[in-house]
Amino acid sequence: MSNSLSEKIRNLSEHYRGYTTENLSRIVQIPSFSGDEKNVIEKLKELCEEAGFDEVYIDGLGNLIGRVGNGPKIIAFDAHIDTVTVGDERQWKTPPFSGAITDKVVRGRGTTDQKGGAASMITAGKILKELDYDGEFTVYFTFTIMEEDCDGMCWKYIIEEEKLVPDFFISTEPSSCNLYRGHRGRMEMEVSFKGVSCHGSAPERGVSAAYKAARGALAIEKLNDELQPDEENFLGKGTITVSQMSAEGPSQCAVPDQARLYLDRRLTWGESAELAVRQVKEAIPECDDVKIPFYDKTSWKGTDFGQDLYFPTWKIARDHPLVTSGESAYKMLYDSDVKVDKWTFSTNAVAVCGRHKIPSIGFGPGDEDQAHAPNEVNKIEDLVICSAFYAALVYSMEKTL
């Protein structure tokens, strides 16, 4: 990528600062909780069409797919456009769906997690069209659904059912405009306990499933302390915690005969679902079963599709061409080095790279600590940087072919 081209891209991204900002505000004003994304998908479709994308369509699950170019290789930029709920609205200083714009930020639920990435992607596509891009890549921009409920399932559908298989993948989840090359995987587990009920006036006659679960919860706390980091010490240690706990019996005056722990397990490099389940069984010998739940919620389009709640760990090498091309694109745009790091949380790359081994990186506007927080904001300057970076990366990647 020449200096003149990088300057054009940087100038166009700055020219479209207001356009990108307004688009983010518009889509933040449309609530789009997981499974109820129809209205925002339709708005995004309208925006992509207005931006001049070569093709825009909604797939069988309900994801929006936009295309620019028609090259032999495929590069995909992804933003999930569903959000978590707002929580206690009294904690919000401005209404969560205001999309309010100040001189530096856009406010509202989903600004950072992660409609900001979506807004920057639209501008990047518009820039590529204005530059008459006709290079070696078909560039897909995907606006995906249900990630907050089941990260990666949308891309499992795109790859396995739609047969859209990219050669390279970029997640636009918030990264503070740093370049990320991996993150821990995760999984959910349900641990069940059985007891023997009896009248609460004589608990010695029964066996309390609640007490078994309580001992199990303490065992999980101990197991978390024992987990170790990956050999490279890049992704860090795995973790495990009890996220939900319940017990029940015939009445409130009886010893409970059933109990349940729900576990959140984060997996570092080298840890698998089989290992994690075995560790829990060994840590809690009193449990009756440990299973990985299955997610099968119907999408807004009425499509049934599901998977186990297991999301594999992923990373790519520090010297992978996708990483080095990202570094080069950033350097050409801003004459400075980009920080290469990792996410703390999980993204759709668990399916693309973790499950399907497609090289992936992350680069997105906004800071991780804004995700799921009240008074969520995204920095306008980050939106501008990302719209330029996405367009520039396509040209930078041409050298890898």
State yes or no: pLDDT of 93 exceeds 80: yes
- Interval 254-276: pLDDT, tens: 999 999 999 999 999 999 999 99
Sign of CA dihedral 315, 320, 322, 323: positive
pTM: 0.95
pLDDT of residue 201: 97
Hey, do 3-183+313-400 and 185-295 end up sharing a CATH topology, with the first three levels equal?
no
What amino acid positions are annotated as catalytic residues? 82, 147
Mean pLDDT of 222-244: 96
- Interval 322-362: pLDDT, tens: 999 999 999 999 999 999 999 999 999 999 999 999 999 99
Mean pLDDT of 289-310: 97
CATH 2.170.130.30 fits 3-183+313-400, yes or no: no
pLDDT of residue 103: 87
pLDDT of residue 1: 72
CA distance 398 to 133: 12
- Under the banding of pLDDT at 50, 70 and 90, the label for residue 3 is confident
- Interval 178-207: pLDDT, tens: 999 999 999 999 999 999 999 999 999 999
| Contacting residues for 140 by C-beta, under 8 A, at least 6 apart | 65, 66, 67, 74, 75, 76, 77, 164, 166
- Interval 119-135: pLDDT, tens: 999 999 999 999 999 99
State yes or no: pLDDT of 399 exceeds 90: no
CA distance 149 to 126: 30
State yes or no: pLDDT of 401 exceeds 80: no
- Interval 18-72: pLDDT, tens: 999 999 999 999 999 999 999 999 999 999 999 999 999 999 999 999 999 999 9
The domain ranges of the chain are: 3-183+313-400, 185-295
| Contacting residues for 324 by C-beta, under 8 A, at least 6 apart | none
63 φ, ψ to 5°?
Answer: -75, 150
**Which CATH topology does 185-295 take?**
Alpha-Beta Plaits (3.30.70)
Bridge-based pairing of strands 340-341 and 185-194 is unpaired
State yes or no: pLDDT of 400 exceeds 80: no
pLDDT of residue 140: 98
| Contacting residues for 8 by C-beta, under 8 A, at least 6 apart | 131
